[in-house]
Amino acid sequence: MDHQSPASYQTAVETAWPVGLGTGPGRILLLGPPGVGKGTQAREMERLWGIPHISTGDVLRSKVTQGTSLGRLAQGIMKRGELVPDSLVCEIVATRLQEPDTFCGCIFDGFPRTLGQAVWLEGRLAELGPGSSIIAVGIRMAHKHLLRRITGRRTCPMCQTVYNVYFNPPKREGLCDIDGAALVQRTDDSEQVFEERMRAYEMLSAPVVGHYRALGRFVSVNGDRPIGEIAAEIASTVARLRQ
């Protein structure tokens, strides 16, 4: 586990981001399999650069909670156990991109998930003018490490503290350090579910990676390192591609 302090993390990223390139990295897409740490990197970019983290799942849930027409439509589809179609996902993302906090940049996480979504997003951002293009960053990690990250997770049902039996185990096996409650493993943290999710991710992501690679706007970073080191490499790579 990475215990780098926020101060040292910020120093590492700011050192990697050259003066004169503005205050933020523009629009970035984070790609990577389940458990690789996309959310962690996105949240830190959001904090350091002041650009929003756009998670498709979060935006979708927000629309459902707000009871918007798009949210009601998506909710009906999900209740039937069906996948929300690309056209509706794109329409929901389009409404998010109309909000002022996205005008100087954002971090996409979980979108675009398919080649169709990627092509749509390229067209949508092109309407915003020069400098709106996406840089796609793939975070990679050895399969065995990802498997341990997922299958080793245990959660306290009382305080929701998350442990990992391999990387961050509780002091007493199977019990929460805070309240002593018996830790539980989510059903979708099993090895079988993980392998199914990996196969689905690889099938969907390959065309998206190929799309951005062909455009010269894809980079891959090693995610099996401390958080700050990964962030610094992302910052320096994005800076190089933005020049």
Q: What is the pLDDT of residues 76-122, one digit of tens each?
A: 887 787 777 888 888 888 988 889 998 888 999 888 989 999 999 99
The verdict on whether 96 is a catalytic residue reads: no
For position 29, what pLDDT does the model report?
95
Q: What is the pTM of this model?
A: 0.81
Per annotation, catalytic residue among 27, 96, 149, 153: 153
The verdict on whether 240 is a catalytic residue reads: no
pLDDT value at 5 more than 80:
no
The verdict on whether 172 is a catalytic residue reads: no
Q: What angle do CA 63, 64, 67 make, to 5 degrees?
A: 85
Contact partners, residue 1, CB within 8 Å, separation at least 6: 164, 167, 168
The verdict on whether 148 is a catalytic residue reads: no
Q: What is the pLDDT of residues 186-200, one digit of tens each?
A: 988 999 999 998 998
Give the integer Cα–Cα distance in Å for 133 and 118. Answer: 11
Per annotation, catalytic residue among 38, 63, 149, 217: 38
For position 138, what pLDDT does the model report?
95
Per annotation, catalytic residue among 27, 96, 113, 217: 113
Given a contact cutoff of 8 angstroms between Cβ atoms, the answer to whether 41 and 227 are in contact is yes
Average per-residue pLDDT for the chain: 85
Give the integer Cα–Cα distance in Å for 94 and 107. Answer: 14
